[in-house]
Amino acid sequence: MNKKELEQIKKFMENDLLTKSQAMEITGQSPNAFAQSLKSGKVSPFYEAEGTKADKVRLYLREDIETYAKNKRK
């Protein structure tokens, strides 16, 4: 992978991927409400790394979270 491709990936990650905290801010949910949305399948991570609960990484697509936030308020 060349430097240009890496920069494109970095830009995608910065613009289009969200942490749990960022996703909760967009949806206006508490941690418990967001966890329930995950459990019920209304929200799902785009990327989920292996690991224990404390060090597990989950990233969410901005588009998915924004769509969910818009639809949940209807």
Residue 4: inside a domain, yes or no? Answer: no
Query: Does residue 2 belong to any structural domain of this protein?
Result: no
Task: Name the residue range of residue 28's domain.
Answer: 12-72
Query: CATH number, domain at 61?
Result: 1.10.1660
Q: What share of the chain is helix, strand, coil (3-state, %, to 5)?
A: 55, 10, 30
Q: Give, rounded to a whole angstrom, the gap between the first and last alpha carbons of the chain.
A: 43
Query: What pLDDT score was predicted for residue 51?
Result: 84
Calpha distance 69→61 (Å, rounded): 12
Instruction: Tell me, yes or no, if the pTM score tops 0.85.
Output: yes
The whole-number pLDDT of residue 63 equals 98
Residue 5 lies in a domain: no
What pLDDT sits at residue 72? 84
In a domain, 6, yes or no: no
